[in-house]
Amino acid sequence: MAWALYDWANSAFATTVMAGFFPVFFKQYWNAGVPVTESTFRLGVTSGLASLLVALMAPVLGAIADRSSSRVRLLMLVTVLGAASTAGLALVGQGQWLVAVGLYLAASLGFWGGIVFNDSLLLHVAEPENTTSCPATAMHWGISAAGCSSP
């Protein structure tokens, strides 16, 4: 149950922050007064950097998750990183796009790191016959969370 609830909460982050408010705030508030072409370029670079960070870190985090006995502690660590970074976005002032980029990158690492460590727990929290139904349930809840939390 906890495994699926974590996945549910992550889905809300993806639809609300990543796809919802970050692009809008980034272009209209943290890049206020900047030509639209430049703010769009900055948003694209930010999204690209986040993807690159995930691509570089995911194999490392996955290996740590597979070999470590501290999956739950690492899951808590990246969850706190993601939540604190996301909350920190509320404190970023108008025009401070570089601060927003740094916090977004940290939040993305927390989000994707959370997925890696949460997924590594599946084999330890579900009975072998439930290793496919547990993610399916979590995906169902995640889609529900996405629909409920979207702007």
pLDDT of residue 107: 94
**Residue 91 pLDDT exceeds 60:** yes
What is the residue-wise DSSP string for 38-105?
HHHHHHHHHHHHHHHHHHHHHHHHHHHHHH-S-HHHHHHHHHHHHHHHHHHGGGPPTT-HHHHHHHHH
Q: Let me know: does 109 contact 81? Beta carbons within 8 Å.
A: yes
User: How many angstroms separate the CA atoms of 80 and 110, rounded?
Assistant: 7
- 151: tokens are 């702007």
Q: What is the pLDDT of residue 69?
A: 80
Residue 44 or 127, more confident: 44
Give the least confident one: 38-42, 98-102, 124-128, 139-143: 139-143
Work out the pLDDT band at 88, boundaries 50, 70, 90: very high
Q: For 63-74, what is the mean pLDDT?
A: 84
Digit-coded pLDDT (tens) for 4-38: 777 777 788 888 899 899 999 999 999 999 999 99
